[in-house]
């Protein structure tokens, strides 16, 4: 545990990045309508956003295997999926890996999914297209699409990597607001995590 905390501290010191207006100026919250088609999942199936046509809210997690901060959130994603998602729910959760590192590719994703008993789709986007459409800059970073598939939230899951110190749950608060017909309390919050490197 101490080693993990040290690793997280080093990440925070050396590779933290945030959402900057210049990086996401062409991906506007409230207007952008990102999508994906036929992305392979750890379960051997291919997934498209169209598959979720019966869901009013889609939460997208841009994440990876190698980032210690991202690893801290898989448990929270499982808890959220258990509480908010399911065949009869109006909410879906999808995680997507973009990183070009070997540890973040599909075979290693399958290993992590099995080890962590993930209860939501974990997809691989070799093209990194969905990350660009969302304006993703770090892992983990979270995005919420409303019923019309507009991007209505971009930011962190909550306000603390240490789950015992969390005070504000941005994603849960946004989902609850959308379910009651309201806009998310905050549409965009600065995200901290491991920087995403995009290819050309």
**Residue whose C-alpha is closest to residue 126's, from 102, 143, 142:** 102
Question: What is the per-residue pLDDT for 177?
Answer: 98
Domains of the chain and CATH, by start: 2-195 (3.40.30.10)
| pTM, rounded to two decimals | 0.88
16 pLDDT band (50/70/90 cuts)? very low
Q: Cis omega before residue 184 (within 30°)?
A: no
Please write the tens of the pLDDT for every residue from 168-193.
Answer: 999 999 999 999 999 999 999 999 99
What is the rounded CA–CA span in Å between residue 59 and residue 29?
14
Spatial contact of 109 and 42, defined as CB atoms under 8 Å apart? yes
Please write the tens of the pLDDT for every residue from 44-65.
Answer: 999 999 999 999 999 999 999 9
The predicted model gives 10-27 an average pLDDT of 46
Spatial contact of 22 and 135, defined as CB atoms under 8 Å apart? no
**Residue whose C-alpha is closest to residue 58's, from 68, 50, 69:** 50
Question: What is the per-residue pLDDT for 24?
Answer: 53
Q: Which residues contact 200 (CB under 8 A, 6 or more apart)?
A: none
Question: What is the per-residue pLDDT for 39?
Answer: 98
The predicted model gives 17-43 an average pLDDT of 76
Give me the half-sphere count of Cα atoms (radius 13 Å) on the Cβ side of residue 184.
26
Main-chain phi, psi angles of 103, to 5 degrees = -70, -15
Question: What is the per-residue pLDDT for 176?
Answer: 97
Main-chain phi, psi angles of 129, to 5 degrees = -60, -40
Q: What letter does residue 166 receive in the DSSP assignment?
A: -
What is the rounded CA–CA span in Å between residue 194 and residue 191?
10
Please write the tens of the pLDDT for every residue from 93-116.
Answer: 999 999 999 999 999 999 999 999
28 pLDDT band (50/70/90 cuts)? confident
Least confident of 19-28, 89-98, 124-133, 162-171: 19-28
The predicted model gives 119-136 an average pLDDT of 97
32 pLDDT band (50/70/90 cuts)? very high
Spatial contact of 84 and 179, defined as CB atoms under 8 Å apart? no
83 pLDDT band (50/70/90 cuts)? very high
Question: What is the per-residue pLDDT for 195?
Answer: 94
Proportion of the chain above pLDDT 90, given as a percent: 82
């Amino acid at each position: 545990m101490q080693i993990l905390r040290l690793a997280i501290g080093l990440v925070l010191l050396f590779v933290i990045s945030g959402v900057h207006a210049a990086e996401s100026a062409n991906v506007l919250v409230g207007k952008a309508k990102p999508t994906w088609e036929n992305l392979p999942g750890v379960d051997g199936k291919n997934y498209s956003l169209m598959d979720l046509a019966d869901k009013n809210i889609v939460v997208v997690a841009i994440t990876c295997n190698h980032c210690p901060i991202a690893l801290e959130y898989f448990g929270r994603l499982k808890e959220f999926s258990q509480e908010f998602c399911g065949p009869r729910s109006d909410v879906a959760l999808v995680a997507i890996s973009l990183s070009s590192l070997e540890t973040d590719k599909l075979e290693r994703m399958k290993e992590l999914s099995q080890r962590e008993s993930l209860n939501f789709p974990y997809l691989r986007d070799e093209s990194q297209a969905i990350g660009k459409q969302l304006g993703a800059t770090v892992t983990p970073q979270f995005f919420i699409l409303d019923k019309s598939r507009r991007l209505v939230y971009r930011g962190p899951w909550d306000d603390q990597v240490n789950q015992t110190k969390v005070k504000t749950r941005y994603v849960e608060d946004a989902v609850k607001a959308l379910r009651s017909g309201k806009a998310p309390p905050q549409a965009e919050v600065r995200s901290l995590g491991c920087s995403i490197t995009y290819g050309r």
